[in-house]
Structure 1
Amino acid sequence: MDMTESGSGAAPYADAARARLVMAYEACELADFARFAVPIGEHELNPDGTTRAPGPELAHAARVLTLAVRFFEAAVVFERVGGADWQVIGDVLEVSPEAARVRYAMSEASFWELLSPEGARSTGPAGEVTSLRAHMVREPLEFALDLDDWVLRHRDENDLGTTPVSGGVVRRDTQRRTEKPPDSLRN
């Protein structure tokens, strides 16, 4: 199934679909990393119940927490790009709209930057993540298909069909293309 238009590369997908894809990716990373903490290794504990190597599990939990924060920020960005104002975000987080905006406006701005030509060259402490996200928002179908495979490998009792991620990636309305959020979303 070809989801590109006239051989131009990536099809124009809706900004909210791109933001949701970033959120799905962060959830996948979090789930994959967190599941490694479930099994207890045969040689992890001494016979008296003490750990054989103190520290690694705490380091692992700290990484899970970092991934959970990235997932949470991606969820806020998705909600904002999808039309939620800061009042809604604040209400869900049980903080004022202003506190929500102060806390998450930079995450939202980073998403919009990824869609700009300069966003692909963005560097910094999270350069690898930024580069991956830039590619993700530019080539959403590639990542959506990878996530389809991930969901299907981890399928539970629910019948999610054969395109549980890519089936929900919505194309942008070609009549309305924006590089920045509409003014109504900036409040």
Structure 2
Amino acid sequence: MAYEACELAELARAAVPIGEHELNPDGTTRAPGIVLADAARVLTAALRFFEAAAVFERVGGADWHVIGDILNVSPHTARVRFAMSEAAFREELLSPEGTQSGTASEVSSLRAHMTREPLETALDLDDWVLRHQDGDSDLGTAPVSAGLVQRKTS
């Protein structure tokens, strides 16, 4: 979920600055469609974050009633919307290292890596958060990885 939030933030942040080279003298864009394309990428990332947040809540113990109440939908509607994503996430957690469920793609490969190497991913996210820290809130040196619970190995 944190990775999806990071991706969303990066896409949205990239849409903020507007350089002189991007605009005509009348304020219109020099490349028609680019702003809409950027907005579509932000929306797609927002939907991935939304889905990841629902899966995160489910894995953390929230039942369908809680999810439905938050989204102002019935528990059944919430389950229909997110159950497949939750099942895919849980399957990926249980799949042996080096295998991927579904089609092979860059995104599923990245997710498989994040599933196999959560600490490495969290450390990368720590770095990102610290580079983009706003204000004077003290996030510490491990704003993402500090929340991970280390699994005991036998």
TM-superposition CA deviations, 1:68-117 (whole Å, max 9, x none):
00001000000000000000000000000000000010110110111122
Q: 1:36-185 to 2 correspondence within 5 Å? A: 36-117=14-95, 120-124=99-103, 127-156=105-134, 157-172=136-151
CA contact (8 A) 1:145 1:166 kept: yes
Q: Distance in 2 between matches of 1:98 and 1:24?
A: 26
The root-mean-square deviation of aligned C-alpha atoms, in Å, is 1.8
SS of the residue corresponding to residue 77 of structure 2 reads helix
Q: TM-score, normalised by structure 2?
A: 0.92
Match of 1:43, SS state, is helix
Q: Does the 8 Å contact 1:122/1:131 carry over to 2? A: no
Task: Classify the secondary structure of the residue corresponding to 2:137.
Answer: coil
Identity %: 74
Structure 2 segments unaligned to the other structure (5+ residues):
none
- Aligned counterparts of 1:128 and 1:105: Cα–Cα separation in 2: 23
Structure number with higher helix proportion: 2
SS of the residue corresponding to residue 23 of structure 2 reads: coil
Map 1:12-31 to 2 at 5 A: 23-31=1-9
Q: How many Å separate the matches in 2 of 1:161 and 1:72?
A: 26
| 1:111 counterpart SS class | helix
Instruction: Number of aligned residue pairs: give it.
Output: 152
After TM superposition, give the deviation of residue 173 of structure 1 in Å: 6.8
**CA–CA distance in structure 2, aligned partners of residues 26 and 150 of structure 1:** 13
Question: Which protein, 1 or 2, shows the higher relative CO under an 8 Å CA cutoff with sep ≥ 6?
Answer: 1
TM-score by length of 1: 0.76
